Amino acid sequence: MKKLIIFSGSGISAESGISTFRDSGGLWEQYRIEDVATPRAWKNNPAMVQEFYNLRRKQIMECEPNNAHILIAQLESNYEVTVITQNIDDLHERAGSTNVLHLHGNIRQSKSSGPNKEKAYYPIDGWELQMTDLCPDGYVLRPHVVWFEEEVPMYEVAMQQIAEADILIVIGTSLQVYPAAGLINYAINAETRYLIDPNAEELNVPSSFRVIAKNAVEGMTELLQELG
Ligand code: NAD
């Protein structure tokens, strides 16, 4: 079976009702990144950060995977598929994808806020993580989300996966958040590269990509017809 890599960003979940990062009306227009998604924010006001992610988690739990997530999951019948997502939602998994690598974490899980670098993740029961919820090491549990200025621990693994891809499909990402965006440059063996994004003409897309300037659902439907 050919190895097919999906590299997704917040745009794939837009049609499920989850705000993207940069689009106008997007979630981040309402907040300053430094107030909610940095280690400094957690140090200065952990309760506010916890609340921000609690509300994100609640919203995500109320949303359903859309047809693009579902079509991607179905690709597993014909390809060896790895989904590398920048998203912290779990919609790929809920659509049935079995091999999902979360570059920026998974909001349904928590981890220690202590200095211990041990990589233990704990599923969150329900949508709310309280400041009184402690990790076995005694520190408050924080969301398992990679904040700005933090390392991306799965980067190397993702890089290796992308280097082995026969087919690469990039979908719903503005390719502006680094280092994640740099991953597409490692697809050295890919025979075909696609990019699906309704605003593709505004993005800096290498010429080796076949661009489908459509929303995720329509774009995936068209791409599947092309793949045959
Ligand atoms: P981004 O907001 O920078 O880019 C989103 C892209 O999606 C844009 O290029 C936009 O044109 C496109 N888009 C909008 N509607 C679409 C649709 N219906 N179908 C397909 N594409 C559509 O997002 P990014 O590149 O993913 O970077 C944002 C960062 O924020 C990521 O690191 C991610 O971790 C985080 N984030 C995650 C979620 C989530 O988990 N759902 C939501 C918001 C932000």
What confidence tens digit (pLDDT) does each residue in 90-112 have? 999 999 999 999 999 999 999 99
- Mean of per-residue pLDDT scores for the chain: 93
Residue 195 and residue 220 in contact, taking contact as beta carbons nearer than 8 Å: no
- Say whether both 141 and 223 belong to one domain: no
Q: Are residues 83 and 161 in the same domain?
A: yes
CATH of the domain at 53: 3.30.1600.10
> Could you tell me the pTM of the whole model?
0.94
Pocket of ligand 1 contains residue 90 by CB under 6 Å = no
User: Is 227 inside a domain boundary?
Assistant: yes
Tell me, yes or no, whether 210 lies in a domain. Answer: yes
159 neighbors 183 (Cβ within 8 angstroms): yes
Q: Is 116 in the pocket of ligand 1 (CB under 6 A)?
A: no
Looking at the structure of the chain, the number of domains it has is: 2
5 and 36 in a single domain? The answer is: no
Active site residues: 104
β-sheet with 100-102: strand ranges across: 100-102, 80-85, 3-8, 167-171, 192-196, 210-212
Do 77 and 174 lie in a common domain? yes
